[in-house]
Amino acid sequence: MLLAAILLACAIWWTFIITPWAAEQTQTNQAIWRTSIPGLDLGLAAHAPGIHAEGYVQRWIFPHWAEDVWFLLRIPGAPARPVPVQWIAV
């Protein structure tokens, strides 16, 4: 019973708090938060939706010994934009 209550609370939190916040943040490309400590860069960034690409907010970490950025969390945001009419071939 407790597990069901926790799952319900998480679903409500995701639906009414996280999803609207992520949609609002992903209207433009922007860095929401970024910091650096010796040997490690941390950040939170928002990406605007594009054609066939939904917007999202992502949490990333870049260890200086690694060759690429590691993405830790990705929260979906605004939906993808439709294909422009000019692109449609008949």
Of the candidate ranges 22-26, 56-60, 80-84, the one whose mean pLDDT is the lowest: 22-26
Into how many domains does the chain fold? 1
Q: How confident is the model at residue 9 (pLDDT cuts 50, 70, 90)?
A: very high
pLDDT value at 19 more than 90: no
Please report, rounded to a whole number, the percentage of residues in the chain having pLDDT higher than 70.
98
Question: Residue 5: its pLDDT value, please?
Answer: 94
pLDDT tens, 51-60?
878 888 899 8
Whether 69 has a pLDDT exceeding 80, the answer reads yes
- Taking CB atoms within 8 Å and a gap of at least 24, the contacts of 14-17 are none
**Are 73 and 14 in contact, with CB atoms under 8 Å apart?**
no
Which of 36-49 are b and which e, b meaning 16 or more Cβ less than 10 Å from the residue's Cβ?
A: eeeeeeebbbbbbb
Query: How many C-beta atoms lie closer than 10 Å to residue 85's C-beta?
Result: 6
Q: What is the span of the domain harbouring residue 63?
A: 2-87
> How many angstroms separate the CA atoms of 63 and 38, rounded?
9
Is pLDDT of 29 > 90? no
